[in-house]
Structures are given as structure tokens and as C-alpha cells.
Structure 1
């Protein structure tokens, strides 16, 4: 099948390499050194799904209509990327592989004649350097829709991608998005401190803050009618207990999440963006919780503070010391 992947970061690069290995004709859009390297030397994947050197057709924008497309940019870049490639995406299934809550809606507004399917990457991958993606933790891609009329298209997407990597098809995509939003609570603290996700989750001070932010996000989800999907060990029953239990008991969950990440330091996608000097998608992670709370007449002060601190590091380039982080959160209680 002719497949396009828009966005050549860790997730887009992984999908491209694995689809190439499965025998599909893959075109990828990329920028800068990544585009130059893929064009000249190919795209190599290593780690959880083994080694493979893919030779996709690479360009800044598409130049032909594929049979299926995957949008794998950061959430803040999605609208521009879709607009730049819109003439080649009209009328074909378009899969939005993104964090946050808004990706499918944005794509539907820009591509009203294309069936849009949502997807969530439940694996960890790092952009090591141009031309090399390392999968640090293998896992499925969750595929789903909230519009039942697109169930068959979602199943077709799952079958195609399933030839290359594990997939799971879900009926309640919003619930899956919210569960991934809780998982993505691990991203902010590494971006603020420069430490790995594992280090921040087990640290007595930083881990306590992450636990509090996760509980806040879960409570906002329940308050807005979310039914959390089962994802990476999280689900409706566990998260309800997590939100209601004393925080000392709730601390167990982030520690378990850290242990499941293994020994390879996991920087998280937000810290990877910081290290590359690129804007992060924090406004679509913790910031999404803040917006959901505001829309419901609620507040999310911990998630709001984490969002602001990540933006502070983005602007200054300087990570915060642990005591400095602790002092900030003492002020908000």
C-alpha cells in the first residue's frame, strides 16, 4: 500500500521504518537535517522492535496522493502540516497519531472530505540523531474513533498498521485519550529538571508533585464525564481509587510506572524537545487538563503550574533545581 507519514520525529520515524519493513511503499515528510539524512542515508530504527534501515521517499511536503496517511507531528505543528499537505490528503483515511485531546477535531475541520481516525502511541521512542530512532519500550498503537460511522475505516487502519506493529482497536477513543493524558503526566517534570522520567517519579519530592498532578487530572476527567479506557495498566477502577486514596498511597502508582519503564533512562518527549531547542507540546498535555477544567468551571492549579514551568525552561534553556521546584509548589499548596 502507498502510505504517507507526515512528521519524522520519534513516533513518525518508528511508524515509517516498521511500515517499510512490512513491505509498504512509504513516503515521509521531514525537515532540516532529518530530511537530508533520510534522503541520503535512509532511516534506521533500533531497540524494542529490532534493527531496520528503511529507505522511504522523503520530502518537505507530499507530492502525490497516498492510499492512507499518518499525521505524526507534535500537536502544536499539526494544523500547519495538514494545511501544507491538504491537496494530497483529501478523500483518503487520515490517522492522527498525537497526544492531547484536540488532534482529531483539528484534522476534521481542515479535511472535511477525509475520514479521520485517531491513534495513540503506547510505546516509547527517542529521536537519537538525524536518521536514527531508538524504541526504548515496545507497546501497541491504540486506534479508535468516537464516530461509529467510521468503525470500519478504523478497523482497516488497525489491520494495515498491525502488519508492522502491535495495534489495539477501541470503541471509546476519548476515554483512551484521557488515559494517555494521565500517562503523559510523566513528561513535564523531566522537562523542568533535566532528569529522566524514572528519576522524577521515584524522587520523594518530585514524585509527590507528579502524583498530585496526576490525581488532579484524573479528578478533572471524572468531573467532565470521562470513562477512562484501559491503557498501560491504567483504567477506570484503578484511577478512581488513585484519585480518592490518601496521597501517600497514591504514590505507589508513579513508582510502578517508573519500574515498568525499565533501566534505560526515559527522557519523555517533552524533554527531548527541550534538548533539541524545539517548542514542546506541553500546552496539549498538562495544558489540556487546564483547558478541560476551565471549560467545566473548575481549576487545575498543579497542571497549570507545571505548564508554566516547562515554558520557563523553554525560554531560558536552564533547568530548575529540585529545591526551586519544591518551593514553587509549596506556594500553591
Structure 2
């Protein structure tokens, strides 16, 4: 299966690297010249629990891709999804599938502009991954990947994707209702990403404090209350257990939103906490802690040039 990883950041490189290591035909696609150049020159330096190694894998800019892929795995930020897919529009074929393993809500709606519903796969992943510098990625934890066809059908192609990802170590599961996992991940990220971004503290440092734990629990419960109101059977206690486990097991992890704030980049806050706030307003539900974190991170990213160092 010819696969393009669209968005070769920390997660894209982890998935692309391990898929390539298992002999799959994979190309990384990104807009970052330092990232593309480093991977092409020296390979992808990947560190996992199994050790450090260098993986030879092609990295390209979108305009350099000429072959029609069987599968595009979308790992860009949601804010960049439309422009990223537009850059590959010429090589998206009549059989090309698009799999979104992105954070946030509404990714499937963006993808529908490029491929029909029966070729969209939506999913979640909770593998940790950090981009240490161009071409260097570290992932020292395990996780699960859950996927579902956007139209709910379990096709042979969906099974092929499941097998390919599982063979590469991503513990892939086809689920009948991936929206439970998506909302639980949104709850997790609305707490962990936003709290670390606003505080500039690593995950473990947030979790060392009673205040951090209390805020994380409140956000998880607020987000899940919105999901439940939409008849999505997410479970707040499951999210809280995962958050508290990550406070310990991934204590040194710096979530992507925190890395974006540290790098003065636009975050995904509008598609995580912001999306929850907007959905809550439609339903008449109060989510005060989630809303405060949304406004706080939004305020920070609008004032990068004014931050006191």
C-alpha cells in the first residue's frame, strides 16, 4: 500500500518511520525545509523503547509528489488540513483513502471536500512522540490506534489499514464508534495540552500539584458532559485515569500545544478547547474551566512578541 504521511512532525515521523521499518512504501510530506532536508540527507533518527536507530525514508514537499497514493495519513494540525490536502489535490486518485489521526474535532468535515465519505477513515492515537530537532524523534511510550470508516462500513481496505498499522506496532483496532475515543482524546488534550501550554510546565510537573490535578479533572468532566449531551457515550473517569497515569509515566513529555507556545507558533487551541466551548454553547452547557484555558492560551498566542522572557 503506497502511503503518504501528510505532516511529518513528531507523530507523522513516528508513524512513517515505523511503517517504513516494516517494509511499507512510505513517503513523508512536509513544508519544513530543515525537516525535509535533514531526513533526506541523514535519515530519520528515531528513538523508541526498543532503542535508537536511523531509518532511511524519503521526505518531500507536496509539489514534488507525483505518484498517486493508496492511503494518505493526515497528521497536520487541523488548522492546516485544508491547505495541506489542497497541495496534494492533483495526485489524490479515485481510490485514494484519507486517514485522519489528528487532534481536535471536525477533521472529517474538512476531508470531505477532497474525497467522498466512503474513502475517509477517522481515528485516534494516544502514542506519545516528541520532535527533538529536525529529523530526530523520540517516543518512549506505548498506545493504541482506533479507526473507523466515516460511513461506518468495515471494508477490506479498512482491514488492510488495520493490519498494516498493527504490524508496525501501533496496536490498531477497528471500532464501531470511534467518536467515543475522539471525544475522550479531546477531553484528555483539552486538559493536558492546554494546561501545559498555559503554564509552560511539563506534564509531570503539572501533575505534581493538587491544583494541576484538580484543573485536569474539571476539564475532563466538562468536555465529557458535552459529548454525553450529544449522545456520545464518553466516560470522564476513563479520561481522568489516563491523565493521572500520563502525569507519572510520561512526566517529561511536552505536549504539542506546549511546544507550539514555546516556539511562538499557532496552536490547535481553537479546535480542541475552542471547539468544545462552541459546542457547549449550542447545547446550553457551562464549561467554565475549559473556557478559561481556551481564552488564556488564545491570549498568549496573540501576544508572543510581548511575552516577558
2:86 counterpart of 1:83:
yes
1:301 to 1:90, Cα distance in 2 relative to 1, 3 A: farther
Separation (CA, whole Å) in 2 of partners of 1:114 and 1:172: 16
Structure 1 position 157 matched with structure 2 position 161: yes
User: What residue number does 1:128 align with?
Assistant: 132
Corresponding residue number in structure 1 for 2:209: 203
Distance 2:21 2:72 in 1: 17
2:242 and 2:118 map into 1 onto residues whose CA distance is: 40
Structural mapping, 1:182-193, within 5 Å:
182-184=187-189, 185-193=191-199
Matched, 1:44 2:45: yes
Give the TM-score normalised by the residue count of structure 2: 0.89
Is 1:140 the counterpart of 2:156? The answer is no
- Determine the structure 1 residue equivalent to 2:286: 299
Q: Distance in 1 between matches of 2:27 and 2:118?
A: 19
In structure 2, C-alpha distance between the alignment counterparts of 1:114 and 1:254, rounded to whole Å:
34
Range 7-16 or range 139-148, more displaced: 139-148
1:151 shift after superposition:
4.2
How do 1:64-79 and structure 2 match up within 5 A?
64-79=67-82
Are the equivalent residues in 2 in contact too, given 1:202–1:254 (CA < 8 A)?
no
Runs of 4+ displaced beyond 4 Å: none
- Report the TM-score when normalising by structure 1: 0.83
Gaps spanning 5+ residues in structure 2: where? none
Equivalent in the alignment of 1:26: 26
Structure 1 alignment gaps of length 5 or more: 229-234, 243-249, 321-333
CA separation in 2, counterparts of 1:68 and 1:253? 30
Question: 1:49/1:3 Cα in 2 relative to 1: closer, same or farther (>3 Å)?
Answer: farther
Say if 1:24 and 1:256 are closer, same or farther in 2 by CA, change over 3 A. closer
Aligned residues: 302
**RMSD over equivalenced CA pairs, Å:** 2.4
> Kindly tell me: are residues 200 and 164 of structure 1, through their superposed partners in 2, closer, same or farther at Cα, counting changes over 3 Å?
same
> Contact 2:118–2:150 (CA<8 Å) still a contact in 1?
no
- Paired position in structure 1 for 2:181: 176
Report the 3-state secondary structure (helix = DSSP H, G, I; strand = E; otherwise coil) of the residue aligned with 2:66. Answer: coil
Partner residue of 2:200 out of 186, 194, 199: 194
